Amino acid sequence: MKTRVNQTRRAWTFVEMLVAVSLSAVFMGPATLVFSSITANSKRLTTIIELNIGSAVNQNFYGQSGETVRVYSAPNYGKAAYTQEFRDLILDDSEYASGIYCLPRSVTNTVRPEFLRYTAGDPASTSLRPRLDTPEAFRQFLAITEPASTAIYDSAIRNVPPTTKQNTSVYILSPETDPGYIRVRAVYEIDFVAMTNGSGTYASVRRYRNNTLTHYYDIFYEAGPGSALYPTFVAFERSSRLAVTEGTAIDRFKIAEENPFYFLWLPDPAINPNKIITGPASAPASAPLAAYESMGAKSSFHLVLPMFPEL
C-alpha cells in the first residue's frame, strides 16, 4: 500500500518569517504610539471629583448613605462608551413594551412600582377604559393608581417639558396576564443636580425595576457660558389630531403618520453642554425643530422611541 503524502504542507522559510516579522513591526510601531497618546491624553483630560449631592438625593438615587459621590468630569470617553450600552438597554426594554411614557419633573422621583392597578380591566368592571394615548393621559392615570405621584408630576405635559421641569422619568410598561394590572418593565430617570457652590451640574441616569436600581451612569458638567441639556425629550402626536386646532405651539408636533413617538436625549459624558454656546433657533416657531434645535450640539445620544412599540 502506498502512503499518500500531502505536498502542500510545509514550514515557512527564513525569508518568509523575516518578511512577516518586518510587516508586524511596521504596523505595531504606529499602533503603539497611538495607544500611548490616547492613554496619556485620557489621563490628562480625565478628572475625578467629589461632589456633595446631599444625603436625601444620594439615598433616593442609589440607596446609599452619605452626602458625596465621586464622579468623572466631562469630557470622559470611557463613560461615553458605557452610555452607548445604556442606550442599547433602553432600546431593548422598548422592544418588549406595550407603552412608553415620558414625564417631566423638578423633584426626585419615588414612584417606581412593579405593577399599576388597572381597575377597568377587571372582568366585572363597568368602568370606561382610560385612553392612554399621550404623556398627559398617563400622568392623570398615574395620579389615580399612585396618589404620591401628584406631588412629583404636578404639571400638565403635552409635547415639550416646561423649562422649570428639566428632570425626566420614562415609564416603560409591558403586558401582564392579569387584566386588572399593568406591568412596569422599567423606570428610567434622568436627573440634573446643580451644585450649591455654582461649580457645575451633576447628571445622573438610572434604571429601576420594582424600585430596585439595576443600572446607572453619571457625569459632572463644569459650569460655563452655555446652557443646560434641555429638553431631554419631546413628544410627537399623530397627524390625525390636526382635525382639532389647538394652536401652533401644540399643532406643530402633530406629525406622526401612525404611531406617536418621542425624541429622547441622554446626557453625553463626552460633551459638556455648559461649555457650548448656542444661538437662537433658526427654525421658525411653527416648526417643531425650534423647540430642540440646540440639542444636536449638546448630546450625541439621541433616541427615537415609539409610544406604543407593539403597534
* pLDDT for the residue numbered 281: 79
| Secondary structure letter of residue 211 according to DSSP | T
Element (H, E) at 103: strand 99-105
Per-residue confidence band for 23, with pLDDT thresholds at 50, 70 and 90:
low
Choice between 186 and 41, residue whose per-residue pLDDT is larger: 186
> DSSP letter at 128?
P
Contact (Cβ atoms closer than 8 angstroms) between residue 271 and residue 252:
no
Question: Higher confidence at residue 37 or residue 55?
Answer: 55
Name the one residue in this structure whose C-alpha cell is 412629583. Answer: 152
Structure-block grid coordinates of residue 222 = 463644569
Beta bridge partners of 192: 203
pTM of the predicted model as reported, rounded to 2 decimal places:
0.84
For the segment 79-108, the average pLDDT, to the nearest whole number, is 95
Pick from 13-27, 30-44, 119-133 the range whose average pLDDT is largest.
Answer: 119-133
